[in-house]
Structure 1
Amino acid sequence: MSDIIQLLPDHVANQIAAGEVVQRPASVVKELLENAIDAGAKNIHLILKDAGKTLIQVIDDGSGMSETDARLCFERHATSKIREAEDLFNLSTKGFRGEAMASIAAIAQIEMKTKLAPNELGTCIQIEGSKITNQELTSTPTGTNTAVKNLFFNIPARRNFLKSDAVETRHIIDEFQRVALVHFEVHFILNHNNSEIFNLPSGNLKQRIVNIFGHKTNERLIPINEDTDVLSLDGFIMKPEFSKKKRGEQFFFVNDRFIKSPYLHHAINAAFDGVIERGCHPGYFLYLRVPTNTIDINIHPTKTEVKFDNEKVLYEIIRAAVKHSLGQFNVVPSLDFTKDKNLETPYSYKNKPISEPRIQVDPNFNPFKTETSFNPFETDSPKTTTANNSSHSKSFDSSSSVPKKKNDWEVLYNGIESIANTEIDTQKLTPQLFETKETKLIKDTFQIQNKYILCNLNTGTFLVHQHLAHQRVLYENFLENITVKEASSQQLLFPISINYSQQEIHILKNIKMELESTGFMFDEITKENVIVTGIPTTISESQISMVFEQLIEDFQEDIQENSFSQLDMIAKSLSKTLAIKTGTRLTEPEQEALINDLFTCKEANISPFRKKIYSSISNKKLDVLFNLD
């Protein structure tokens, strides 16, 4: 039998390695930004086109590379960070394995210009599919300018698996923020399709957080500072009242590297236990620094998962530090059982002189004398029962508040006869969550676990998921109001201003026209605020913030991939946000209205997100269950 094992060509091996390193355009952005940081850059400019599918360009003013280094950086396992295996356990830089540039070059077209500070001319290298097509001297500023074009141009199958531009842009912005938050001494700029999204000048940590997430964030931050022999902890946590239903601003950095650690995240949640509502998530920006020999960062290709030598100790220190900060800044109410509340003096009375109380006595008061009685329904003036009226009774009789004439109080009841004779519509007005479109078709429903509705038809028994059913009803109603009917809007008496980050504002600007066609009205959308002047009639004023948050999250995720248009996506998002939740108790009329509305929908069996709404069992199957067939 002939030999069947052979060595793979370098370009094939690079493409296989690229599958671990380069999963999407955000992976390329992460590697190029980290290379610029390692080069000591103080100004980094990221330029994107078509969410990085067409162009990813990073321009930095770092140290640059020589002609030889510029060529070697595209070879596999070529690195300047490590020399021997022991160096892997004492790392303080970003990239160190020498796989990133070789993997990127295998699946893209790259043009790189770089120059060292002492040199007059730099080097320009052009690579296509791991092959160097051109190398020449060029005039370029000190630093490195790397342009990655047409990602996955030679692997169409991988390119087809990429998501929409909005989703890929969100992943890129996530990577950009993670690098920018930890290197706040560097000036970052992000441009996408000739539009500036971020311009982050150098400054301190708090300024960087505020520049990314908006000026409103400044008043929400609580500082943390803890220094021990095991770790050094700095950063900020968000005040409990600003916790969110969705995971928002949650960032862990270890030795200037973003990580994901569910175990340490649990320590934060444990510290906030009892302070925030159940189901809410706290925000935090925590920076840990541990000895490099106590952490292993080479257990995952993306280096976002790490392994600590003493996780339990870190857990307790982080939990205690967060609790201490919450108590130090009077966020958590404290109880002092040894303090006597009767001895506490209000601040407004603290410096006032103490005056002796005086007793006043009425010498003419007679407790045995009969008081003046008054009947407001008597036509005559009030009579007294004694001949000699005391001063007390005289003052009562002379009061201007006592009506002395019949007309004085009868004026209050003018027109009561006409109101009594008016025919009043005695139709019952009971608050309901649902309005039926037609006459009732189904009766005798029963709610199970405040989650399912059991109903009986001639053909069998149906078990309906109330949340999914209401989603379908609202979805079709929203689509009908948007497309067939003219969307109705209600003007707000006072405009509402809502604060968002620059990334969220960018999303709302992109869907502003679609939101206006659904009934929303905007006065202005600034860099950090959205001013709402009108809302659809189906939405209450208290639901505006919740609706926008869900819209932004759905737009960032893959929901628009399953939508025909932006309007369809908005209708789906609104239906998911406004539908009744699991655990809501419904009255019998509400249950019947929901079931009847559901079965008048065009697709009553599937929710807007392709989930099964109800399950049925025929009468014959019921008979079989009890051996009655």
Structure 2
Amino acid sequence: MRDVIHLLPESLANQIAAGEVVQRPSSVVKELLENSIDAGSSQITLIIKNAGKSLIQVVDDGKGMSETDARMCFERHATSKIADTEDLFKILTFGFRGEALASIAAVAQVELKTCQESDETGVLIEIEGSEIKRQEPVMSQTGTTVSVKNLFFNVPARRNFLKSNPVEMRHIIEEFQRVALSNPEINMSLYQDDLETLNLKSGKLAKRIVSIFGKQYQDQLIPCREEVQHVLIEGYIGKPESAKKTRGEQFFFVNGRYVKHPYLHHAIMNAYEELLPEGTFPFYALKIDLDPVHVDINVHPTKTEVKFDDERTIYAVVSATIKQALASNGITPSIDFDLDVNYATQRAASTLPSSANNSNISSGSNNKFTVPTGTFNNNQVKNWQKLYPDPDKTRKWENEFMELKSRSDVPEKSGKPLEITFSSAANEINEQAEQEEKLNEHQARVQKTLQIKYKYIVAQVKSGLMVINQQAAHERILYDQFINRLESGKGISQKLVFPQTIELPPADCATLIGVLPELHQIGFELEPFGQQAFILRGIPAEIKESAADSIIESFLEQIKMNQTSLEDEKKSKMAKIMAKKASLKEGDRLHSDERQALIEQLFASSNPNYSPDGKKIIAMLGSERLDELFM
């Protein structure tokens, strides 16, 4: 039997190894930025073209490399960070594996230019598919410039798996933000297709957060800090009211390294318990510094996963730190043992209006306002009664007005004087009969439908009663309308009197640019305005102006959670979001004509029985079932 096991060619082995480190352009960005940080740089510039597919260039002013080191850095498992086994348990640098540049050079065309401060000239090395094409001296400033061109040029299959430019650019910006947040003392800038996207000056973490995510974060940040038993936790969290429905603004840094840790994320969500609306996520950027012997970062090739030797303790410290920060800002109840109770009572009494101290102020079960006695005279009581009329009487008046308005034989009020015309007795009788017939028709239609709890519509049919969920029904109707617009490319838009400016983080801007054509088809008139903002000039006719920001935020959430290249699926998700935001809600009152129109449109839709989310729309109560209720 012939031997079947053989060594792989070096070029093929390098490409296989590159698959673990270089998954997409953002992977290259991460490795190059971390190398610049390890070099002690104070200024780092990232230049991107064609979402990293054509060019990824990182320029730093670090200590640079000698000619020998410049050549050795492209060899596999070549590193200056570790020398023996013990070094693996005290790693405080980033590129300790020695695989980054070797893996990148295996699947791209790489140009390295570097120079040390003590050297008169630097060195230029060009590598293409792990093969050195050129190496020569060159004049260069102190530091290193790495240019990665035509990523995956020799692995077309890998290049075909890359997403669209907006998606890949969003991943690049996210990696850049993570490195920038963990190193606020370094000046960092990002250029995208020759346009400056971010220019971050050195400073404190709070300044870096505001520079990246916008000025609105300036009043939303809560500082937190705790140090116990060789563990230091510090950073910032967001106020509960600033929580978003989208993930992505949650950052953990362990010894300066960005990590993903679901267990510690749960600790923070536990601290925010009962403070956040359902389905929202708070902002946080927390740095955890501890002895490297207590954390293992050699878990995953991308080094975004770590293990602690005592995760329970870290969990408890993180949760306690967040709770303390929230309590110190008055967001959660706390006990202040240094507070003078007598002074606090006097201060509380002085800040309340005198009427608040009266024990007769109460609200009964019937929600009527009870006027306090002993502190107002009769005239004041009358004034209070004017401000707070009997709600039962008000509701009765409203019902009478709505009933009067719904009658077809009551003329609308107009500014013209009443015109009196004379006609024969026959014409008068015919007109009266015609009006009575219209009134009877209207009353019959009113009797056909009924609204229950401003949530369900009950209609009489031959087989019994039909109960319709008005919100689910309206979602189905709107969903079909938006799908038709997306497929036809013709959206109905209403112009805004005052255009709105929507500011977004750079990563969200890159995401939103990718769906602008679909937004235009639905009816949004949205266009980029600078690098981190958009101008909203028009919205779909079915939605309210106040709901535009919420809808765009929901779009971004869905895109982040469900990255897909299928055009039909993308359109379906966008139509669902629009339908859910613009549909009727529980508590919306519908007149008889509106109820009837809703039913007619529902049965003209593509699927009257189920909403776009699969919720049941119609329930039938047959005559037999009704008879059983009274047997």
> TM-score, normalising length from structure 2?
0.72
2:196 corresponds to which letter in structure 1? E
Identify the match of residue 476 of structure 1 among 480, 489, 503. Answer: 480
Question: Which consecutive unaligned segments of at least 5 residues does structure 1 have?
Answer: 351-418, 454-465, 616-629
Identify the match of residue 542 of structure 2 among 529, 538, 541. Answer: 538
* 1:121 Cα deviation from its structure 2 partner: 1.4
* 1:476 Cα deviation from its structure 2 partner: 3.4
* 1:519 Cα deviation from its structure 2 partner: 3.8
Separation in structure 1 between the aligned mates of residue 578 and residue 183 of structure 2, nearest angstrom: 38
Counterpart in the other structure of 2:381:
none
Counterpart mapping for 1:167-316 below 5 A:
167-316=167-316
Counterpart mapping for 1:571-582 below 5 A:
571=575, 573-575=577-579, 577-578=581-582
Separation in structure 1 between the aligned mates of residue 168 and residue 34 of structure 2, nearest angstrom: 19
CA contact (8 A) 1:563 1:569 kept: no
CA contact (8 A) 2:61 2:142 kept: yes
* 1:278 Cα deviation from its structure 2 partner: 2.8
Counterpart in the other structure of 2:91:
91
CA contact (8 A) 2:489 2:521 kept: no
* 1:72 Cα deviation from its structure 2 partner: 0.7
* 1:574 Cα deviation from its structure 2 partner: 2.7
What SS class does the counterpart of residue 75 from structure 1 fall into? coil
For each residue in 1:401-424, what CA deviation from the matched residue of structure 2 results, as whole angstroms up to 9, or x when unmatched? xxxxxxxxxxxxxxxxxx999436
CA contact (8 A) 2:109 2:129 kept: yes
Q: 1:195 to 1:556 in 2, by over 3 A?
A: farther
Separation in structure 2 between the aligned mates of residue 60 and residue 509 of structure 1, nearest angstrom: 30
Separation in structure 1 between the aligned mates of residue 462 and residue 104 of structure 2, nearest angstrom: 62
1:2 corresponds to which letter in structure 2? R
CA contact (8 A) 1:445 1:591 kept: no
* 1:552 Cα deviation from its structure 2 partner: 2.9
* 1:551 Cα deviation from its structure 2 partner: 2.5
What SS class does the counterpart of residue 225 from structure 1 fall into? strand
What SS class does the counterpart of residue 565 from structure 2 fall into? helix
Counterpart mapping for 1:443-592 below 5 A:
445=466, 473-481=477-485, 487-490=491-494, 498-505=502-509, 507-508=511-512, 515=519, 518-520=522-524, 525=529, 532=536, 534-555=538-559, 561-563=565-567, 571=575, 573-575=577-579, 577-578=581-582
Separation in structure 2 between the aligned mates of residue 538 and residue 244 of structure 1, nearest angstrom: 24
* Structure with greater Cα Rg: 1
CA contact (8 A) 2:170 2:511 kept: no
Aligned length: 524
1:164 corresponds to which letter in structure 2? S
Correspondence 1:35 to 2:42: no
Counterpart mapping for 1:396-415 below 5 A:
none
Counterpart in the other structure of 1:14:
14
Counterpart in the other structure of 1:76:
76
What SS class does the counterpart of residue 279 from structure 2 fall into? coil
Counterpart in the other structure of 1:423:
411
Question: Which consecutive unaligned segments of at least 5 residues does structure 2 have?
Answer: 354-404, 413-438, 618-631
2:170 corresponds to which letter in structure 1? R
* 1:531 Cα deviation from its structure 2 partner: 5.8
CA contact (8 A) 2:543 2:581 kept: no
Separation in structure 2 between the aligned mates of residue 485 and residue 159 of structure 1, nearest angstrom: 30
> TM-score, normalising length from structure 1?
0.73
For each residue in 1:222-265, what CA deviation from the matched residue of structure 2 results, as whole angstroms up to 9, or x when unmatched? 00011112300110110111112222411011100001111111
Counterpart in the other structure of 2:66:
66
Q: 1:434 to 1:530 in 2, by over 3 A?
A: farther
Larger CA deviation: 495-504 vs 149-158: 495-504
In proportion to residue count, which structure has more helix?
A: 2
Separation in structure 2 between the aligned mates of residue 180 and residue 442 of structure 1, nearest angstrom: 67
Counterpart in the other structure of 2:113:
113
Counterpart in the other structure of 2:377:
none
Separation in structure 1 between the aligned mates of residue 489 and residue 159 of structure 2, nearest angstrom: 40
Larger CA deviation: 259-268 vs 547-556: 547-556
* 1:514 Cα deviation from its structure 2 partner: 6.2
Counterpart in the other structure of 1:53:
53
Larger CA deviation: 193-202 vs 308-317: 193-202
CA contact (8 A) 2:253 2:259 kept: yes
1:542 corresponds to which letter in structure 2? S
Larger CA deviation: 24-33 vs 543-552: 543-552
Separation in structure 1 between the aligned mates of residue 56 and residue 198 of structure 2, nearest angstrom: 16
Separation in structure 1 between the aligned mates of residue 79 and residue 4 of structure 2, nearest angstrom: 33
Q: 1:10 to 1:612 in 2, by over 3 A?
A: farther
Separation in structure 1 between the aligned mates of residue 587 and residue 410 of structure 2, nearest angstrom: 40
Counterpart in the other structure of 2:392:
none
Counterpart mapping for 1:143-154 below 5 A:
143-154=143-154
Separation in structure 2 between the aligned mates of residue 523 and residue 11 of structure 1, nearest angstrom: 46
Counterpart mapping for 1:591-606 below 5 A:
600-601=604-605
1:119 corresponds to which letter in structure 2? D
Percent identity, please. Answer: 46
* 1:194 Cα deviation from its structure 2 partner: 1.7
What SS class does the counterpart of residue 561 from structure 1 fall into? coil
* 1:521 Cα deviation from its structure 2 partner: 5.2
Larger CA deviation: 7-16 vs 203-212: 7-16
The CA RMSD over aligned residues, in Å, is 4.2
What SS class does the counterpart of residue 48 from structure 1 fall into? strand
CA contact (8 A) 1:166 1:556 kept: no
* 1:502 Cα deviation from its structure 2 partner: 3.5
Separation in structure 1 between the aligned mates of residue 255 and residue 296 of structure 2, nearest angstrom: 12
CA contact (8 A) 1:254 1:287 kept: yes
For each residue in 1:462-506, what CA deviation from the matched residue of structure 2 results, as whole angstroms up to 9, or x when unmatched? xxxx96x87664343125457769644445577655543243345
2:191 corresponds to which letter in structure 1? N
Separation in structure 1 between the aligned mates of residue 159 and residue 518 of structure 2, nearest angstrom: 29
Separation in structure 2 between the aligned mates of residue 66 and residue 343 of structure 1, nearest angstrom: 73
Separation in structure 2 between the aligned mates of residue 293 and residue 445 of structure 1, nearest angstrom: 68
Counterpart in the other structure of 1:395:
none
Separation in structure 1 between the aligned mates of residue 102 and residue 574 of structure 2, nearest angstrom: 42
CA contact (8 A) 1:185 1:203 kept: yes
Counterpart in the other structure of 1:457:
none
Separation in structure 2 between the aligned mates of residue 560 and residue 265 of structure 1, nearest angstrom: 26
